[in-house]
């Protein structure tokens, strides 16, 4: 899984809202699930 592939998965799930720096950091740590959680927190998505 490359970072680019993970971004595609996340962007598909996250529509077009911007990723936060914290979420991007989580992606780089290979933690897609955490990245999605951070993203949702940052954008107030339940």
pTM score of the predicted model: 0.32
Sign of the CA dihedral with 36 first, then 4, 14, and 23 last: positive
Residue 36 pLDDT level (bands cut at 50, 70, 90)? confident
Give the model confidence (pLDDT) of 19-33 as tens digits.
667 667 666 776 677
Residue 40 pLDDT level (bands cut at 50, 70, 90)? confident
Output the six-digit token pair for 6.
């993970």
């Amino acid at each position: 899984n490359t970072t680019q592939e993970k971004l595609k998965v996340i962007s598909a799930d996250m529509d077009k809202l911007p990723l936060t720096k914290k979420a991007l950091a989580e992606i780089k740590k290979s933690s897609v699930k955490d990245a999605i959680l951070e993203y949702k927190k940052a954008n107030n998505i339940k």
